[in-house]
Structure formats: C-alpha cells, structure tokens
Amino acid sequence: MGTFALIVVAAVVVVVAVVGITNAVVIKTGDDRLVSVDEAARENAQCILVLGASVLPDGTPSGILQDRIDRGIELYFAGAAPKIIMSGDNGTESYNEVLAMKNYAISKGVPSEDIFCDHAGFSTYESMYRAKHVFGVEHMVVVTQTYHLYRALYAANGLGIEVVGVPSDLHTYGNQAWFDLREIPARTKDFFQTLIGNPSKFVGDPISLEGSGDDIE
C-alpha cells in the first residue's frame, strides 16, 4: 500500500473514531437525563422547551411536530413548568414553525400568554443556546423524539442548563431510518459546538419568562 493510500486509511480511521466517540458521549449524557411525564412534573422547571420540525403547506404541524407539541401540552397540564417555549424556524415571512406550534397549543387549551415563541431556533444547538442566553433559562424540560433528544440534552447540559428530556415518540415515523442516519454527524457537530460554546447566529435582547408570551410575537 502506497503512502497516499495509508494517509487516506488513517484519515478515515480517525474520522470514524471521532464520530463514534462523540456520538457515544452525547448519547450517554442524554440517556441519563431521559424521564417520564410524571418525573418531569416533579422538576419544578422554569419552562418546557418544544423543538420545532416541519410545518405543512396549510400552516399546520406535521405529524412529527404535532407529537412534540402534544407531549409539551401534556407536560404543561401536568405541572412540569408554567411556561412553554416553542423553538423553531421562522427564517422567512412565508414559513413559521413557531406560530403554527403556538396556535396548535392554544387550540388545545394552553393560555396564549404562557407560550413564548423563539423564532430563531434554526438548529437544535441554537435553540439550547438561545434558551440560556436570550430567555435566561436555568432549569427546563425539553421535548422531542428520542433520537433527537440526546443531542438537545447534551447541548443544554453543556451550556449550563439543568435539564431533563421527555420523549415524544407517540407514533412510528416513515422516515425514521433517515432521521437516525442524519443524527450521527449532527451529534458530532453539536458536541464540538457545545465544547467551544459557539454563539447562536442571532441572539438579540433578553426575554423574560416572567412576562407574557404574547408580548414577543
């Protein structure tokens, strides 16, 4: 085997090792923080943070997103926290995950003023960073599907937030194999983002959860 081939093989081995180790660390950290709805209700957290996902063309939540919101609503009425942060992508005027999330929760009986919209939650890491540095969160419950929850919990913990997560796997999802595959490099990326405390692209003025969520729409 030539020198170039040896270098390529060595590089591949290093990359595989880094991805494998970082994924193992992220999953282990998250796994230790997964709890049930009843356990989360005893956390006395400041907020429940629901992570965004795709919205349908008619402006309603996709199935995977609706399951996240439904779990967040369940936690709210179980007393896990007095406020909900809906964190997602509102990168254009025509696409607004967080408004769809808030409207759905209101339709299920959650008071509008208790729902805060994080319009710049463009990635999992950014949602965690903004929870800490914009909303001033020190203690929260995070909601998303299990495959995604490990990464969210790792980032939140690494950023200094006391956090637990409640899975929202309420159905079987057709694209689960793709979600699982995509999550592997994403965990490695967020491992290093958390390690260096990389700032969110958008930070902005602080928002107090003591006020009304209707003030920041």
Q: What is the DSSP letter of 198?
A: P
Segment 103-127 shows an average pLDDT of: 95
* pLDDT category of residue 1 using cuts at 50, 70 and 90: low
Tell me the per-residue pLDDT of 134-183, one tens digit each, with 9 for 90 and over. 999 999 999 999 999 999 999 999 999 999 999 999 998 888 899 899 99
- Residue scoring higher pLDDT (36 or 94): 36
Cβ neighbours of 32 (radius 10 Å)? 10
Q: What pLDDT score does 59 carry? A: 86
Q: What pLDDT score does 8 carry? A: 72
Segment 210-216 shows an average pLDDT of: 86
| pLDDT above 70: residue 58 | yes
Classify the phi-psi angles of 37: left when phi > 0, otherwise alpha if psi is within -120 to 50, otherwise beta. alpha
Q: Are 171 and 62 in contact (CB under 8 A)?
A: no
Q: What pLDDT score does 81 carry? A: 97
Cβ neighbours of 2 (radius 10 Å)? 7
Q: What pLDDT score does 2 carry? A: 75
Please state whether the predicted TM-score (pTM) of the whole model is above 0.85: yes
| pLDDT above 60: residue 217 | no
Q: Are 84 and 47 in contact (CB under 8 A)?
A: yes
* pLDDT category of residue 91 using cuts at 50, 70 and 90: low
Q: What pLDDT score does 75 carry? A: 98
Tell me the per-residue pLDDT of 64-86, one tens digit each, with 9 for 90 and over. 999 999 999 999 999 999 999 99
Fold of 30-170: Rossmann fold (3.40.50)
Domains of the chain, by residue range, sit at: 30-170
Nearest partner of 45 among 33, 29, 28, 32, judged by Cα? 33
Mean pLDDT of the chain: 92
- Residue scoring higher pLDDT (7 or 80): 80
| pLDDT above 80: residue 57 | yes
